[in-house]
Amino acid sequence: MPIDEYLAALSKELRGPRRRKADLLAEARDHLADATEAFEADGLDRYDAEKHAVADFGTVEEVAPGYRADLAVSQSRRTAVLLFAALIIQPIVWREGAWSWNSGPDDPNPLNDLLQVLVRNVGTIAIAGAVLAVVAAGIGLRSPFVRTHLTRATTLFALVNAVTIGGIGVLMALTSPHPNGLLDLSVVGAFVVLPLVLVGQQAARGLRLARA
């Protein structure tokens, strides 16, 4: 099988972050090109040299699983970075006095107070977990053991936290002791719910890659 045909077949078997996929295919092409040149130096014509290079590299069925695992790790890293970015802005969103619905006089609301404590604790754990996941993803590209277990754990962690923190955020806005209106709820939607929905989408992609 010629190199271009082989790489096209391999590309069809791979799903995941586009940049990482392109890098993997470029690395494969470089390896195959070097092998082809070596076979040509031994006296083979270009076509036969490419066929031998591809045969030595491995069939698509043999090579694709390793590349899929690599892409799954890259996806888990992307998910963790997005979770961190979504959560690191939350103190600004909920800072007392930053918006009309959390400024001015207020009446005590035990449920809202409980939600504030809960979201701070869950958010702190989620941020720490996201940082650890980013670090682990770098290790996972080199360690088969970490790579095997990282993707599913990271994506499930991100998905659970996205749903939990997003739900708490909406409840906090609705139970705020301060008056709130459509504009105020729009702030929560734009800076809390929407980023966490994006995290959830990336996590869902990661789960699909982990099962591939």
Average pLDDT, the chain: 84
Identify the residue with better confidence: 104 or 152.
152
DSSP 8-state assignment for residue 177: S
Judge whether residue 184 has pLDDT over 90: no
Over 70: is that where the pLDDT of 37 sits? yes
Do the beta carbons of residue 150 and residue 133 sit within 8 Å?
yes
Contact 52, 44 (CB under 8 A): yes
Predicted pLDDT of residue 185? 73
Where does the pLDDT of residue 11 fall: very low under 50, low under 70, confident under 90, or very high at 90 and above?
A: very high
Task: Please check whether residue 144 is in contact with residue 120, taking contact to mean a CB–CB distance below 8 angstroms.
Answer: no
Angstrom distance (rounded) from CA 148 to CA 169? 33
63 vs 153, more confident: 63
Angle at 79 between CA 73 and CA 80, to 5 degrees: 90
pLDDT band at 91 (very low <50, low <70, confident <90, very high): confident
For residue 151, the model assigns a pLDDT of: 80
pLDDT confidence of residue 114: 87
